[in-house]
Amino acid sequence: MKLSFHILDVFTDKRFGGNPLCIVHGADDLPTAQMQTMAREFNLSETVFLLKPENPAHSARIRIFTPTKEMPFAGHPTVGTAILLAEMKVAGISGDHEALIVLEAAIGTVRVGVRMRAGQATFAEFDAPKLPVEAGILQPLERLAAGLGLIPSEIGFENHRPSCFAAGNAFAFIPVSTRQVIERAYVNGSDWAHAFEDQGVVGAYLYTRQCVHNSSAFHVRMFAPSAGIPEDPATGSAAVCFAGVVHRFDGIPDGTHKRGLEQGYAMGRPSQIALTLVVSGGSLTTVRIGGQAVRVAEGVIQV
């Protein structure tokens, strides 16, 4: 059996930046084990398998795999898949277009708005299917620092302290004092395992306010070796959870607030994620993730 696939770079408007994503078409007859094997073969942060939707009014059902496990939800596969499906719908039709792509994921139904403009990389944005909630207490500061090859005094800034939030996937959020410190961080062998592996988190999400671009609010890195991702160039699902961090520590008032997140710079794959938070009555009511994507390659795989 031969299946076609596309590769896109997501959360970027330039090829060979952002987070690469493979999308495999017509995967209805593939068993789960075969999907996992193919994801390991592509060896990208995530591979998406497209299936017929259970609701015929929806665009597609998707299954998302890292090289080592299936994920109920992930941000850059959602953005990239929606952009590819929207572009395929209007292939050969010139001009500007907008589309609503409805994806059935393990976490639930996700509606993605897509904006296509001539001469620009296509942009997509979705409301997170789950809002972030606090998800337990992390290890002591000294152990977290050791797991990242840092010293305890380099972790934390202002009132920000390590925290754990989940929105389907759970992440450890580690505030770091400067961009120079965040660039020195790494997965520190057995110390990493002691700090993070027993916490039930996908990975550790480091962040600082010191950014490369003035348009960004936070500079971030994300390590997830247990998921087969030593470092991720752009992590939409963690950005959803990060909205909980921003709401908790920055005390933002009621209204709509936008925060630009830059990621992937240490890997040479600059990424830009648009994070929108809506606060009402003091509570976080909506989290929205957006970004661009560009096609890089397409082909056929023999299975």
Angstrom CA distances, 280 to 126, 243, 283, 284, stand at 19, 14, 5, 6
Burial class from Cβ neighbours inside 10 Å (0-12, 13-18, 19+) for residue 189 reads: exposed
Nearest to 263 by CA among 183, 154, 164: 183
3-state helix, strand, coil in the chain (%, to 5): 25, 40, 35
Q: Are 40 and 73 in contact (CB under 8 A)?
A: no
DSSP 223: E
Whole-angstrom distance, CA of residue 188 vs CA of residue 146: 7
Active site residue 154: no
**Angle in degrees, 0-180, between the axes of helices 75-89 and 236-250, rounded to the nearest 10:** 120
Provide the token pair at 170. 């759970």
Options 46, 87, 104, 231, the catalytic residue:
46
Q: Which residues are catalytic?
A: 46
